[in-house]
Structure 1
C-alpha cells in the first residue's frame, strides 16, 4: 500500500469515528430531552390531580333535600386541621329563618345547642308559641381529630318556606389544638371562590306536599330525614375514601406511563448498532 493510500484510509477512518461520536452525542442529548420531558409531563399531571384535592380542603355542607319548606339533613364534612393541628371543635352558625335544629348524635363529639330570643314570637306548626331560635350548634371533639382524617356532623332542620332561589350560608368556626380557622367568607356568583368559603345550601323551589303541616305528616317527615341522614353520612364517608385512593392510583399510573413512553422513544431513536 502506498503512502497516499494509507493517508486516505486514515482520513476515512477518522471521519467515520467523528461521525459516530457526533451521532452518539445527538442520541444522548435526545435521551436527556425525552427523559426530562417525561418527568415534566408526569409532574404536571401530578400537580393537576393534586390541585382539586387542595381546593376541596374546606368544611363543606351537603343537604339531603333542598326544597324550600322541606325538612332536610345538612351534613358538614371536614378532613383537615388548622395548618396540621388536630381539630378540637366546630361551631356552626345557623342562618336567620331557621328556628329549630336537631343535631345528629356523633359518638366522637359532644354537642350543645345555643339559643337566642326572637325579635317577635312565632307560632309553630303545632300551634305553640315560639320565642327563641337556635343560633349555633357547638361540637366538641372527645378526642382531637388528627389532620388528614375525615369526620362528619349532621343537623336536621327545616328550610325557610320563602327561601326558594336563595343560598343559605352556614359559617363554621373550626377550633384546633393550635389556632383556629373561620370558614365564613361569602361566595359571590361570577367571582373566584374565596380562600375560606362558608359552607352553603342552595334552596330550590318548594315541592308539593313539603313542609310540616300537622303531627302525622311531621312524624313521617322526621322518619324520612333520619333515614336520609344515615344514608348521606355513609355514602359521603365511602366516597371520600374512594376519591383519595383513586387519585393516588391515577398519579402513579400516569407517572409510570410517562416513563414508559420515554424509554420507548429513546429505544426507537437509538436504532440498531452499526456493525464493526
Structure 2
C-alpha cells in the first residue's frame, strides 16, 4: 500500500511538472530582418502559426498604429495568398523626403487563395515598411487571424509593464537607435551585398596563395633545369680535359 501511494504521488507530481513546463501557445508576432532602426526603413515578417488541429488559417488582417503612420508599405508576394493594402487620409500630413504625405497605410490583409495555413504549420508574411518613427521605441500592431471554421482570434492586447503577457498579445516591433553616422539600419539587399563582399574578401587570399604557389613552382622547374644543364656541361669539360 505504501509503495502504491508513493507511486501515485510521483505520477501526480510528474503530471504537474508537465503542465507547468508546457510552452505557452504561439501567437502572431512580428520580427525584422536585421534591424528596424528609428528613422529608417526595414523588412519585417509577420509570423502566423496555426493553433488549431481542425481548421486552417485563411485570413490575416494587420492594422497599423495610427499614432505613428507609415507612408511606405510594400508587401512581398506570398504563394497561395492575395494581398490588399488599405490607405487612409491623415488628419495631420507627414513630411517625407521633402514632400508632404497626406495618406498612409492603415491595414494590410492577406487572404488565402488555396488551403491557407494548415494545422501544424506556420506562415511568414513579409513587408517593407518605412519611414520608421524617430520618437518611439516600438510599434504595436493589431492582428486578426481568421480560421476556415469562421473563428476569429484577435491579437490586439497590449503588454502592460510589470504584468504577465496577455492571452492574446498584439504583435510588437522593437525599434533600435540609428547609428551615429546617420545610417538607419540595413535592408535585406544590404545584407546580401555585405555577404557577397565578405565572400569576395575570403576568396582573395586563397587566389593570391594559389598564384604564388604556381609562380614558385615554375621558378623551381627553371632552377632545376639550369642545375641539370650545368652538370652536363661540367661533365663534358672533365672528359675533354682528360
Q: TM-score, normalised by structure 2?
A: 0.67
Superposition deviation, residue 49 in structure 1: 2.8
User: Is residue 63 of structure 1 aligned with residue 32 of structure 2?
Assistant: yes
Q: Which has the larger share of strand?
A: 2
Go from structure 1 to structure 2 and tell me whether the alpha carbon gap of 1:225 and 1:116 turns closer, same or farther (over 3 Å shift). farther
User: Is residue 91 of structure 1 aligned with residue 57 of structure 2?
Assistant: no
Pick which of 38-47 and 75-84 moved more.
Answer: 75-84
Could you list the runs of 5+ residues in structure 2 that have no partner in the other structure? 195-242
User: Is residue 210 of structure 1 aligned with residue 210 of structure 2?
Assistant: no
Pick which of 177-186 and 77-86 moved more.
Answer: 77-86
Q: State the match for 1:76 in structure 2.
A: 46
- The one of 144, 153, 167 aligned to 1:181: 153
Could you list the runs of 5+ residues in structure 1 that have no partner in the other structure? 1-28, 213-219, 229-276
Go from structure 1 to structure 2 and tell me whether the alpha carbon gap of 1:168 and 1:197 turns closer, same or farther (over 3 Å shift). same
Superposition deviation, residue 105 in structure 1: 1.7
User: Is residue 135 of structure 1 aligned with residue 135 of structure 2?
Assistant: no
Q: Which runs of 4+ in 1 moved over 4 A?
A: 81-84, 225-228
Tell me the alpha carbon deviations over residues 31-87 of structure 1, each in whole angstroms, 9 at most, x when there is no partner: 21332233123212321332x2xx242111112313211322221112225685321
Q: State the match for 2:124 in structure 1.
A: 152
Q: Equivalent residue of 1:134, what SS?
A: strand
Go from structure 1 to structure 2 and tell me whether the alpha carbon gap of 1:174 and 1:38 turns closer, same or farther (over 3 Å shift). same
User: Is residue 108 of structure 1 aligned with residue 80 of structure 2?
Assistant: yes
Superposition deviation, residue 92 in structure 1: 0.6
Superposition deviation, residue 169 in structure 1: 0.7
Q: Equivalent residue of 1:39, what SS?
A: helix
Between Structure 1 and Structure 2, how many residues are aligned? 188
- The one of 64, 69, 91 aligned to 1:119: 91
- The one of 132, 135, 138 aligned to 1:167: 138
Pick which of 200-209 and 80-89 moved more.
Answer: 80-89
CA contact (8 A) 2:86 2:105 kept: yes
CA contact (8 A) 1:156 1:225 kept: no
Q: Equivalent residue of 2:178, what SS?
A: coil
Q: Equivalent residue of 2:116, what SS?
A: strand
CA contact (8 A) 1:85 1:147 kept: yes
Q: Which has the larger share of helix?
A: 1
Q: TM-score, normalised by structure 1?
A: 0.60
User: Is residue 198 of structure 1 aligned with residue 165 of structure 2?
Assistant: no
The CA RMSD measured in Å over matched residues stands at: 2.7
